[in-house]
Amino acid sequence: MKPPRFRYFAADSTAHAVELLGEYGDEAKLLAGGQSVVPLLNFRLVAPAVLIDINRITELDHVRVDGITTRVGALVRQRTIERDQELRRRGPMLTETVGLIGHVAIRNRGTVGGALAHADPAGEWPALGLLLGACFRIVGPRGRRTVPVDEFFRGFLTTAIEPDELLEEVELRLPSPGAGHAFVEVARRHGDFALVGVGAVVELDSRCRIAHIAIALIGVASTAVRAGDAERVLRGELPSTELVKSAAEAAAAGLDPVDDIHASGTYRRRIAGVLTRRALYTALARAGWERRDVA
Amino acid sequence: MATEVHVGRRMARKEDRPLVTGTGRFVADIRPVGTVDVAFGRSPVAHARIEAIGTEAATAMDGVVGVYTAPDIQGQVQPFTLFVDQEHTPPSLDQSIHPVIRPCDMDVLALTRVRYVGQPVVAIVAESRYLAEDAAELVDIDYEELPVLTDPEAAIAPGAPLLHEQVPGNVQASFDVDLGAVDAVFAEAEHTASFRFLVPRVAGSPIETRGVLAVHDPVQEELTVWSSTQTPYMVRTRIAEMLGLAEQQVRVIAPDVGGGFGPKVQVYPEEILVAHLSMRLGRPVCWIEDRNEHLVATGQSRDQVHTVEVAYRGDGTITGLRDRFLLDCGAFNPFSITCAYNTAAHLRGLYRVPAYRIRGECVLTNKTPNVPYRGAGRPEATFVMDRVVDVVARRLGLDPAEVIGRNLLTVAEMPCDRGMPYRDGAPIVYDCGDVPASFDRLLRQVGYAEHRSATREVQDGHVRRGIGFATYVEGTGKGPHEGARALLDSRGDIIVLAGCTPHGQSHETAFSQVAADALGVSPEQITFRAGDTALVPYGVGTFASRSAVTAGTAVAVAGGRLRQRILAVAGELLEAAPDDLEFQDSTVHVQGDVTSSVTLHQIAAAAAPGPAARLPAGMDHGMDESYYFVPPTVTFASGLMAAVVDVDTETGVIDVRKIVLVHDSGRLINPMVVEGQIHGGVAQGVGTALYERLVYDDTGQPLTTTFMDYLLPTSMEVPKVEQIHVETRSDRNPLGVKGVGEAGTISPPPAIVNAVVDALAPLSVEFSELPLTPEVVLDAVLAARSGRTGGQR
């Protein structure tokens, strides 16, 4: 469990990192919090010739809340988000959900940009990206570009970021003040990657109809996924337990998760429905829905 | 004896300061100048012939000191044979259970054939571990793959390929126990039921992996080996035998050791080879196991499948039990029938079960060798028996607590001869106390009556609460012996040395308490050391819940002898009768006259040979007493456990709310230490119950080689543990103690599974396999609700 030999560069600015990426491209890996790349190195599952350490780039370490838009620098630690008072006051969707990631030691090191760029299908951040309409600011030798979330996640551990590019910042649209949210998971142990997780954001209009709905699931496909069918069941409707149950069934119906040693695909699909229902109940309640027909 | 009694006190641990201030010293902390590192090239396939090994590229790499394969060490390093006490079972055991044990030698490096993924094939020595691992990637080995056996039932099927030609049917060892008129009991039974129970393969998972450092002094012809082991004396014996040395030329030191749990009882190829390489190269050689290696190269445990039949009456009285079980021992079986016979000897536990037949078979497969792990066959036994009792109760519609009570041995039946020998050859005679009384205390403590009358739904209709029970009995304090020395050093300080090998058991604290009482001084005055073969000539080690009984007794006797010697010399110096003297701090004085005193320093000087010696007539020189305790047989600790769980019936997720345990490990030396031992044991029991399983695919590839895939419980998964101590003193050692190291580990799996069954009671589900995962629970709930039989039968 010792990594093979590699060259190490500590970039001191985004421009410096981009310059190094331009020079080494395919041969290089970025080192931020190291929560994924260091184990991969030690297991010798990756053997990059060059490691570019971006931990010293202070310009990537910022959280800017501006009305409904929040911009998070790629180097912001999970723990910083979790403890951000402004975000907590503004609506605790991010602070609560980030608390589900690993353990405190992992959140102290792990970065927002690293989690999004690694794109683990059971990671919480890709789902947050889907729920909050993320836009990704990417920089490389060919300049800057912005990629919307719909085009960002390309497959298992794969994103729109090219090997010679760097994720600089993610822009998120936080739920409006009256919205309700939830993020629920089943994991084998506290802090493990979720077997399945479901996040939901709901807004009700003045007549108590569902004006906005976003549901995202993790652990059920090669990337985090939006539950489009379930959202269509709900959008514009008056909430009810029957409606929530139909939406939960719709969310699970379209899934075909794979088996692994921790759970079968069948189990994952089953609890995807259960967790969707629970996430919706919590989010709806937080949005102001008074459930009268509790069994 | 002393006026103040220290045994029984909650004394804070003496060993904590270095450990919590980062000044502990583990093998990896010791690095003599010039040390080189070893990386092992291990088999990537489960079963293959080695056709060719190309080491040229690795040997030529900068920084590589040497690359060694089996032919390079042939004739210089002998292979492993079975441990002597595994090969030669006691005659009374032979006559009773007719064991068949086949030799199954294991090369230190695989010569022509590999039999499991992780088996060492090549050793690369380099100036750093990084370089050694780089070079390991350059070793080119041509494997001709052979058919793979991963399932013990397939391995014993006719026509299965043989893993070792001299072992017919792949059954390395077997035995039969037959007690009472078993067939007649079944023929006349009111009810019978049959089961198949499965306890998976798990890893002991000490927080410190293994590690070895060897330094050879060619002038003194002495070899010093530091190893993260539970058994330095066995390591010494094996190194001496296999490298052709006298044991007196080998010193093995277990420095601070970060847990063992059984897997570090085995002597491993790495320990032999690192020692050999240090002699061969004339340099200190070090190997530190990484976690990835640990999960394939360190012995694994449990892995039993039981086929059980039970005969019982309508009131829940169990009249007979038949069991045939297979223990998947992996590719070699260094411990032979140790765990399997422990299972057979403990299976009936605290229950009467008058007719009993059990056959155990250790079956070879292409997996990492099986070794004891905390509990060593007893968690498997308890899982079978306490699940059987629970199922019998539920199938009869009776309260499980009532059926447990009906089958428990009573105080009138103690001491209870179980009609079969223990592994040491002596008859199994339980020396437990009033077990039913302990069970009543447990029921009250856990609030069982209230639970029975309350609704089990605790939240939203989908979370249900259950309480389950389990028992344990354990032969503790196994021999063959353990030694201790008590002496005064040149300054008159009291030094106590023992052959045990602490690796988390608080021996320094507990045995200082024992020695203090024996000597009549305070525990703070005692300097205790152990885990080094240079300290005491003969020793065994720390495993099998044995050290409190064996080393504890040796310390008490050696300490008592030193006290007599000190008082005799003091009497000579003070011109007083020894009986009129007493200790105060570091002096001895005449009772009632503190001015008439001598210091321990003066006493030590008076006992040393030379012109200043002043000894009572006839007494030899020296202030150094030894004692080796050879226990008559084991002494039986026991306990009863309740688990309280919440089950989410929509996801199958289990939340263990609380574990309550009434246990009896005889007289307690230090209750705080006992509680810590039990709490840690419960944590590992929770792991076996709900999380841990080493998974192999059909080609013998291990799939759980990191702690992301092999799920140890964390502090978040380990529940609160309430403990009630009962102290039935043992009459098999002068301290009256029984062992407690494994106690907490044994009962949680059946207690937790029975609690889940209880939570789901209206659904009549049954479970027979571990770990009990959320998926298994949910499947059972859904099956039961759709009218099918729920769970595993």
For B88-132, the pLDDT digits (tens) are 788 999 999 999 999 888 999 999 999 999 999 999 999 999 999
What integer best gives the mean pLDDT of chain B?
Answer: 96
Nearest chain B CA: its distance from A139 CA (Å): 33
What integer best gives the mean pLDDT of chain A?
Answer: 95
A207 neighbors A196 (Cβ within 8 angstroms): no
Which of B291, B703, B717 is opposite residue A261, by nearest beta carbon?
B703
Confidence at B640, pLDDT banded by 50, 70, 90: very high
List all residues 6 or more positions away from A290 whose beta carbon is below 8 Å from its beta carbon: none
Q: Cα separations (Å) of B781 from A275, B761, B776, B784, B786?
A: 17, 11, 9, 5, 9
Q: Which two tokens stand for residue B787?
A: 């009218």
Residue B2, pLDDT > 50, answer: no
Fold of A58-173: 3.30.465
What residue ranges of chain A are covered by domains with CATH 3.30.465.10? 58-173
Mean of the pLDDT values across residues A178-184?
96
Q: Which two tokens stand for residue B280?
A: 């061969």
- Report domain B206-297's class: alpha beta
- Identify the burial level of A256 via C-beta atoms within 10 angstroms of its C-beta, where 0-12 means exposed, 13-18 middle and 19 or more buried: exposed
User: ipTM score of the complex?
Assistant: 0.95
Distance CA(A152)–CA(B470), nearest Å, equals 53
Sheet with strand B318-330: strands edge to edge: B100-101, B171-179, B355-364, B318-330, B300-312, B191-203
Mean of the pLDDT values across residues B273-286?
98
Nearest chain B CA: its distance from A267 CA (Å): 6
Q: Give me the pLDDT at residue A154, please.
A: 97
- Number of alpha carbons in the 13 Å side-chain half-sphere of residue B385: 31
Distance CA(B187)–CA(B311), nearest Å, equals 9
Helix axes A241-253, A265-286, angle to 10 degrees: 150
CB of A163 within 8 Å of a chain B CB? The answer is no
The CATH number corresponding to B300-478+632-785 among 3.60.21.10, 3.30.365.10, 3.40.1280.10, 1.10.3470.10 equals: 3.30.365.10
Confidence at B791, pLDDT banded by 50, 70, 90: confident
Confidence at B454, pLDDT banded by 50, 70, 90: confident
DSSP string spanning A196-232?
A: EEEEEEEEE-TTS-EEEEEEEEESSSSS-EE-HHHHH
Distance CA(A63)–CA(A81), nearest Å, equals 8
Confidence at B87, pLDDT banded by 50, 70, 90: low
Distance CA(B61)–CA(B63), nearest Å, equals 6
Which of A2, A193, A264 is opposite residue B775, by nearest beta carbon?
A264
Mean of the pLDDT values across residues A111-117?
98
Residue B395, pLDDT > 80, answer: yes
Residue B85, pLDDT > 70, answer: no
- Number of alpha carbons in the 13 Å side-chain half-sphere of residue B371: 26
Q: How confident is the model over A202-213, as pLDDT tens digits? A: 999 999 999 999
Residue A186, pLDDT > 70, answer: yes
Q: Which two tokens stand for residue A109?
A: 């090191």
Which of B129, B130, B711 is opposite residue A188, by nearest beta carbon?
B711
Q: Which two tokens stand for residue B184?
A: 């007649």
Domain definitions of chain B by residue range: 16-22+480-629, 206-297, 300-478+632-785
List all residues 6 or more positions away from B130 whose beta carbon is below 8 Å from its beta carbon: A2, A3, A5
Nearest chain A residue to B292 by CA distance is A1
**Residues A180-286, CATH architecture:** 2-Layer Sandwich (3.30)
Mean of the pLDDT values across residues B690-700?
98
Partner B, chain A 189-228, Cβ-Cβ below 8 Å: 189-193, 195
CB of A28 within 8 Å of a chain B CB? The answer is no
Q: Give me the pLDDT at residue A293, please.
A: 54
Contacts of B461 in chain A (CB under 8 A): 295
Distance CA(B681)–CA(B659), nearest Å, equals 12
Q: Do B134 and A191 touch (CB under 8 A)?
A: no
Residue B1, pLDDT > 50, answer: no
Nearest chain A CA: its distance from B565 CA (Å): 54
List all residues 6 or more positions away from A255 whose beta carbon is below 8 Å from its beta carbon: A217, A220, A221, A225, A268, A269, A272
Question: 10 Å Cβ neighbour count for B519?
Answer: 26
Distance CA(B784)–CA(B361), nearest Å, equals 35
DSSP string spanning B69-91?
A: EHHHHTTTSPPB---HHHHS--H
Question: 10 Å Cβ neighbour count for B714?
Answer: 16
Q: Output phi, psi for B169, to 5 deg.
A: 65, 10
Lowest pLDDT segment from B583-597, B616-630, B736-750: B583-597
Q: Output phi, psi for B217, to 5 deg.
A: -105, 105
Nearest chain A CA: its distance from B130 CA (Å): 6
Contacts of A4 in chain B (CB under 8 A): 133-134, 137
Q: Give me the pLDDT at residue B481, please.
A: 95
Q: Give me the pLDDT at residue B82, please.
A: 62
Q: Do A2 and B653 touch (CB under 8 A)?
A: no
- The residue whose two tokens read 């049959």 is B194
Which of A44, A189, A263 is opposite residue B775, by nearest beta carbon?
A263
- Identify the burial level of B173 via C-beta atoms within 10 angstroms of its C-beta, where 0-12 means exposed, 13-18 middle and 19 or more buried: buried
- For chains A and B, what is the number of CB pairs under 8 angstroms? 64
Q: How confident is the model over B473-528, as pLDDT tens digits? A: 999 999 999 999 999 999 999 999 999 999 999 999 999 999 999 999 999 999 99
Confidence at B455, pLDDT banded by 50, 70, 90: confident
- Report domain B16-22+480-629's class: alpha beta
Closest CA to B480 of B179, B237, B746: B237
Q: Give me the pLDDT at residue B21, please.
A: 96
> What H or E segment, with its residue span, contains residue B52?
strand B48-54
Q: Which two tokens stand for residue B406?
A: 């009906």
CB of B452 within 8 Å of a chain A CB? The answer is no
A93 neighbors A174 (Cβ within 8 angstroms): yes
B543 neighbors B230 (Cβ within 8 angstroms): yes
Question: 10 Å Cβ neighbour count for B164?
Answer: 19
Mean of the pLDDT values across residues A250-269?
96
The DSSP 8-state label assigned to residue B117 in this structure reads T
Mutate to test the interface with B, among A184, A267, A281 (most CBs of B within 10 A): A267
- The residue whose two tokens read 């030193």 is B562
Closest CA to B113 of B144, B77, B158, B69: B144
Confidence at A31, pLDDT banded by 50, 70, 90: very high
Contacts of A186 in chain B (CB under 8 A): 651, 653, 774
Residue B790, pLDDT > 80, answer: no
Mean of the pLDDT values across residues A76-100?
93
CB of A186 within 8 Å of a chain B CB? The answer is yes
Angle at CA of residue A10, ends A7 and A12, nearest 5°: 155
Q: Where are the beta strands (DSSP E) in B630-685?
A: 635-648, 654-664
Q: Give me the pLDDT at residue B89, please.
A: 83
Mean of the pLDDT values across residues B22-30?
97
In CATH, A7-53 is 3.30.70.2740: no
Compute the CA torsion angle B6, B7, B8, B10 (nearest 10 deg).
60
Contacts of A2 in chain B (CB under 8 A): 129-130, 133
Residue B262, pLDDT > 80, answer: yes
Which of A186, A261, A295 is opposite residue B653, by nearest beta carbon?
A186
